[in-house]
């Protein structure tokens, strides 16, 4: 597979805004507090979730652009994503990019209050349970989207396309309107 194709798939998957943050704008104390908050609330876990989503999106894009690609390509994408995310430097880079985002929405005082809260028994319980809640919610959302939202959405889109005179059942070279 050509490097350009794979790079194109990757670049179409990753939002560039996450690379635009400027660490110099966050005061050192605020930065340290935000890093403490991110670490205590499982920032690395969020990176793993991001990595899984990125890997799946790359696979989806590759399948769409190259339907006949070997399934081995999907295994390679998953393996390489896992390897990269297992490197602590990769997660540190992601966490560093999150600091300005937190600083944008929370004052240092807010962050210190959140840290204090997450040290309480209830805060620790939230930290413990959030990964499970996020995973269960994601699964439930996917199931709902597939079983409830998608069928109704497909019906509505098909009706609107038909009303607009757009026929997607025609061969690729044919006119669609």
pLDDT, tens digit, for every residue of 101-128?
999 999 999 999 999 999 999 999 999 9
Is the Cα torsion angle 92, 97, 132, 71 positive or negative in sign?
A: negative
Is the Cα torsion angle 135, 47, 14, 28 positive or negative in sign?
A: positive
Percent of all residues in the chain with a pLDDT value above 90, rounded to a whole number: 32
Percent of all residues in the chain with a pLDDT value above 70, rounded to a whole number: 81
Residue ranges of the domains in the chain?
3-119
Cα gap 57→14, rounded to integer Å: 9
Per the structure block, which two tokens stand in for 175?
A: 């006119």
Q: Structure pTM?
A: 0.62
Query: What is the total residue count of the chain?
Result: 177
Mean pLDDT confidence for 31-54: 85
**pLDDT for position 3:** 47
**pLDDT for position 22:** 52
Mean pLDDT confidence for 64-73: 89
Per the structure block, which two tokens stand in for 4?
A: 């350009």
């Amino acid at each position: 597979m050509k490097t350009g194709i794979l790079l194109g798939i990757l670049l179409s998957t990753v939002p560039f805004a996450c690379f635009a943050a400027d660490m110099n704008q966050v005061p050192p104390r605020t930065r340290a507090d935000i890093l403490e908050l991110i670490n205590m609330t499982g920032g690395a876990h969020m990176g793993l979730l991001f990595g899984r989503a990125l890997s799946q999106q790359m696979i989806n894009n590759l399948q769409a652009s190259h339907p006949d690609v070997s399934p081995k390509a999907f295994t390679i994408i998953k393996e390489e994503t896992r390897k990269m995310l297992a490197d602590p430097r990769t997660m540190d880079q992601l966490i560093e990019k999150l600091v300005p985002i937190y600083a944008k929405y929370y004052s240092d005082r807010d962050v210190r209050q959140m840290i204090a809260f997450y040290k309480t028994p209830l805060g620790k319980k939230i930290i413990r349970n959030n990964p499970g809640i996020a995973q269960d919610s994601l699964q439930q959302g996917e199931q709902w989207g597939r079983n409830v939202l998608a069928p109704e959405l497909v019906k509505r889109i098909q009706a609107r396309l038909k009303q607009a005179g757009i026929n997607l059942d025609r061969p690729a070279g044919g006119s669609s309107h």
